[in-house]
Amino acid sequence: MKLMKLWRLRQLLSYPTFAIEIVVGRALNGRRKNDHEACMNDVFNFLVGNLLGARLVDPANTNNIIDVSIADRQALAQKATAALQAQHWDQVVW
């Protein structure tokens, strides 16, 4: 979660941090979380493959649908694609 929030800041994305938390939770649901590289790749793959059509619901209040614009979703998916194509982690997070 912290790495994704740092990544969001470094990429200058306006995507809400609460929405990042929901996306990370969905992307990593049922997966082992002790391998940070694999987790980041899982989240990036989720962002690329599922974010545009994903319905983001607040898990504490299912009546609260998180509104994120298509433009923000597209920007996030594009940055995630670039992250997956990066050769080294310093190109992704830093």
Stretch 28-52: mean pLDDT, rounded?
92
pLDDT at 61: 94
pLDDT at 51: 93
Q: What is the 3-state secondary structure (H, E, C) of 58-92?
A: CCCCCCCECCCCHHHHHHHHHHHHHHHHCCCHHHC
Distance of alpha carbon 85 from alpha carbon 67, whole angstroms:
28
Q: 10: which 2 tokens? A: 């470094």
Stretch 38-43: mean pLDDT, rounded?
94
* Residue 37: CATH number of its domain: 1.10.1410.40
User: CB–CB of 11/81 below 8 Å?
Assistant: no
Tokens 């929405």 sit on residue: 19
Number of domains forming the structure of the chain = 1
